């Protein structure tokens, strides 16, 4: 357990890689009633589930169907878990101090991201929303 207050706050998103994201989006809509927004014509479709964290902070979880980079998923898994965190830099420092390598870190208009791999080889995405988003 982390000694700081920089813990996972919730599931930020699930990203499903697909060879044909548009057809898969249509299947989810027809069979599960999910209404996806187009986040990239032919390459990315998604939806957001809005909620509040236990402390009352407004948050959201994303489910996105994205174009696979190759006929198989770009990683050994077909999806990636995105964990929403409150202070990415502090968490990354703690992970590195414990010997956990950070694959990559980047910032974008959507927030800050970093990727690590668990002991079974599953790639995990750590995500800190931008401060102005109201997600924390």
User: Residue 74's domain is classified under what CATH number?
Assistant: 3.10.180.10
Where are any strands of DSSP class E within 1-136?
Answer: 8-18, 37-40, 44-52, 58-67, 79-85, 104-108, 111-117, 123-128
Where in the sequence is the domain holding 25, given as residue range(s)?
8-133
**Is there a domain that residue 1 lies in?**
no
- The answer to whether the predicted template modeling score (pTM) of the entire model surpasses 0.85 is no
Is 52 inside any structural domain? yes
Q: What is the pLDDT of residues 66-106, one digit of tens each?
A: 988 776 444 566 677 888 888 999 999 999 999 999 999 99
Give 108-124 pLDDT, tens digit per residue. 998 999 999 887 677 88
**Does residue 30 fall inside a structural domain?**
yes
How many folded domains does the chain comprise?
Answer: 1
pLDDT tens-digit profile of 36-46? 999 999 999 99
């Amino acid at each position: 357990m982390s000694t700081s207050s920089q813990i996972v706050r919730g599931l930020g998103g699930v990203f499903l890689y697909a060879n044909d994201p548009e057809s898969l989006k249509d299947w989810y809509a027809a069979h599960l009633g999910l209404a996806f927004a187009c986040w990239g014509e032919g390459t990315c479709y998604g939806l957001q589930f809005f909620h509040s964290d236990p402390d009352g902070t407004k948050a959201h979880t994303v489910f996105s169907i994205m174009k696979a980079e190759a006929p198989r998923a770009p990683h050994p898994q077909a999806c990636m878990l995105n964990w929403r965190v409150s202070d990415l830099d502090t968490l990354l420092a703690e992970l590195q101090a414990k010997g956990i390598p950070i694959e990559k870190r980047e910032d974008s208009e959507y927030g800050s991201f970093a990727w690590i791999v668990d002991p079974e080889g599953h790639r995990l995405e750590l995500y800190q929303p931008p401060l102005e988003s109201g997600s924390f």
